[in-house]
Structure 1
Amino acid sequence: MKKTSRRAGLALALGLCLSLAAPGVSTAAPETVPTQHASLSAADAAACPAQGQRYKTSATADKVFLVGPGNEIFWIPNQTVYRNLWADDSGIGTAHWSCAESWTQMDNAELVKSSSSGAVYIWDRWEYAMGGYGSWRRIANWTATFINKYHFDPSKIRTVPAAQLIYIGSDWT
C-alpha cells in the first residue's frame, strides 16, 4: 500500500509539472516590480522617482521622501533635518503614494566632515551597527554623488572632531 500511494503521489506530481510545460503555456518568470514598489504595476513603478530625487505624495501631505543608495526610500521627518541637508525646497517633485510604501526615517540627518580629513559624511540612521541604528556614511564622490545626484548643499557641512565619527558604515552612493 505504501509503495502504491508513493507511486501515485509521484505520478501526480510529475503530471502537474508536465502540464506547466505543455505547448502554449509560458514558463517564463513574470515581470517583477522592485521590492520598494511591490504593489505597483511595472509601468507605475518605472514612473517612481530615481535615486537622488526628493518627492512628496498626495496621500502623505507634507512628508518629503528621498530615494537613497540602492533605491531605499528615506523619509525626512521635519524641516530641521531637511535644512541640515538642503537650503531650499527646489527640486522636490511629486509621485504616486505607493512609491513611498516602505521607507526608513532619516532621523537627525546631517552632513559633516572630519577635522582631520576632507571626506564628507552623512548621518542617515539607516544601518544597524554597534548595538543601535545609525552610522556615518562617507559621500562616495563629491561631484557625482553629493552635487549632481542628491543636490546636497555644501554650506550645510559642519566640521567635527574626528572622534565624533565613531562608526563609519558603507559609502553613500
Structure 2
Amino acid sequence: MRIRRALAVAAIGGTLTLGAAVAPAQATQGGRTANTSGPSLVAAAVSDAAGAVSAQHSTPSPASVASCPPAQGLRIKKASSARVYLVGPNSRLYYIPSAADYNALWGTWDDIETVLDSDMACFDPSTSLAGARLVKYPNDPTVYIRVTGENVYRPIKDWDTFTRKYHFDPAKIQVTSDIGRKGPIWD
C-alpha cells in the first residue's frame, strides 16, 4: 500500500520550510531533513564518467522512516547512488541524466534530498529527462516541460505548480513558436 504525504511548503523570510519553522539552513518533514539554503548546503553538481548527475552535500534520511518518502516535486537521490531524480506527477520518477539537463530546469542545486534505497520501491519506474527543457509560445503564459522519455511536451498545470511544487526556474523558460506533440498536464 502506497502512502503519500503532502509536504506543506512555505517560504518564510527567504527560507524554505517543510512543515514547521526550523533553522534557516535545514527543514524537516516526517523525520527527514532536506537542504534548503546557505552556501555550505549548495549541492555541488558534477557529471560522473557515465554522465549521471551527482549531488554532494545532500542530507540522508533516517533509517526510521517507514512510509513512502517525498511528495511530488522533490528532487531526490538514493543513499547508494549519485543519480538524481525528480518525483513527478503520480509519483513517477524522472531520471536527470546530466548536469546540462538539470541546469535546463533549475538554477540551483539546493534541495536534493537523499532517501533510503528501499524508499525507491515506492515509486513507478523512472523516465528519462534527457534533453528536458521549459518552453512556451510567445504571448501565451502556458509553460511546457519537454519529457523526452515520453516523447512529448507536457503543459505545466499552473504557475503555482511551476514555482512552488516543482521549483523550476522561470529564467530557464525558452520562448518558441514550435513546441511539438503535447502530452498530459504536468501537475
TM-score of the pair, normalised by structure 2? 0.61
Structure 2 counterpart of 1:104, from 127, 146, 157? 127
Q: Tell me what 2:70 maps to.
A: 49
Q: Tell me what 1:71 maps to.
A: 91
Distance 1:57 1:115, change over 3 A: same
> Per-residue displacement from partner, 1:120-157 (whole Å, max 9, x unpaired)?
10001243xxxxxx1001011112x0011000000000
Q: Tell me what 2:175 maps to.
A: 159
> Per-residue displacement from partner, 1:22-72 (whole Å, max 9, x unpaired)?
xxxxxxxxxx247xxxxxxxx6343x1111100111212x21111000110
Q: Map residues 90-101 of structure 1 onto 2, 5 A cutoff.
A: 90-101=110-121
Q: Tell me what 1:135 maps to.
A: 152
Cα RMSD for the two superposed structures: 1.6
Q: Give unpaired runs (5+ residues) of structure 2.
A: 4-64
More helix by share: 1
- Do the aligned residues in 2 keep the contact of 1:55 with 1:65 (CA within 8 Å)? yes
| Distance in 1 (alpha carbons) for counterparts of 2:170 and 2:139 | 18
Secondary structure in 2 matching 1:44? coil
Q: Tell me what 1:86 maps to.
A: 106
Secondary structure in 1 matching 2:100? helix
Structure 1 counterpart of 2:144, from 104, 121, 130? 121
| Distance in 1 (alpha carbons) for counterparts of 2:165 and 2:95 | 17
Secondary structure in 1 matching 2:80? helix
User: How far has the Cα of 1:105 moved from its partner?
Assistant: 1.5
Task: Tell me which structure has the larger Cα radius of gyration.
Answer: 1
TM-score of the pair, normalised by structure 1? 0.66
**AA paired with 2:162?**
F
- Do the aligned residues in 2 keep the contact of 1:138 with 1:170 (CA within 8 Å)? yes
More strand by share: 2
Q: Tell me what 1:148 maps to.
A: 164
- Do the aligned residues in 2 keep the contact of 1:73 with 1:103 (CA within 8 Å)? yes
Question: Identity over the aligned pairs, expressed in percent?
Answer: 35
Structure 2 counterpart of 1:59, from 61, 80, 88? 80
- Do the aligned residues in 2 keep the contact of 1:56 with 1:93 (CA within 8 Å)? yes
**AA paired with 2:179?**
L
